[in-house]
Structure 1
Amino acid sequence: MYIMTDPATDPNIEYIVITFWDKVAIVCGAAGLFFVLLTCMLCTLCPECFCPCYADKKNKKLRRDVTRAASQRSTSSRGSYGSTESDFVYGPSDVTDSGPIKWTPLDVIREQAGDWSSDASSGQDVILLDKNKKRIADLPNGVHNGDVNKHSGSSLQKGKIDFVLSYILSDEKLIVKIIEVQDLQLADGGELASPYVKIRIYRSPKAFFTFREVVRADAVISNLETEVRTRMKRPGDVMTYKESFEIALEAEALRFTTVRLLLCDMDKLSRHVTLGETSVILKKEKLHTVHELAYSKDLMTPVKEPVGRVTVGLSYLPTSEKLYLTLECLQDLKIMDKVTGATDACVKIYLMYEGKQLKRVKTTVRAASINPVFHESFSFDVPKSEIDNVYFSILVCHYHAEQRGTKTIGRVYLGTNFGSESRDLWSNMLQNPRKKIVKSFEITN
Structure 2
Amino acid sequence: MVQVDGVQIQQLEATAPLSSPALIGVCLGAALLLLSVAAVACFCYRRRGSPPHKLIYRRPPERSVGLRRPTAVRSPGSQGHYLKKSPSPTGKPATPGSGSDGGGEPGERAHTPSLHTPSPSDETTTRSIKSFTENELSEPPPKKDEPETTKLGQLNFRVRYNSEKAALLVTIVQCVGLPARGAAGTGSDPYVKLQLLPERQHKVKTRVLRNTQDPVYEEDFTFYGIQFNKLESTTLHFVVLSFDRYSRDDVIGEVLCPMSSVELAEQDTTCELSRPIAPRSIKMKSQGRGELLVSLCHQPAASRLTVVVLKARNLPKMDITGLSDPYVKIYLLCNGQRITKKKTHVKKRTLNPVFNESFVFELPPGSDSLAGVRLEFLLLDWDRVTKNEVIGRLELGTPPPEGKRLPSAAHHWSEIASSPRRQIAEWHKLTE
For normalisation by structure 2, the TM-score amounts to 0.44
Q: Which structure exhibits the higher relative contact order, with contacts defined as CA atoms closer than 8 Å and separated by 6 or more residues?
A: 1
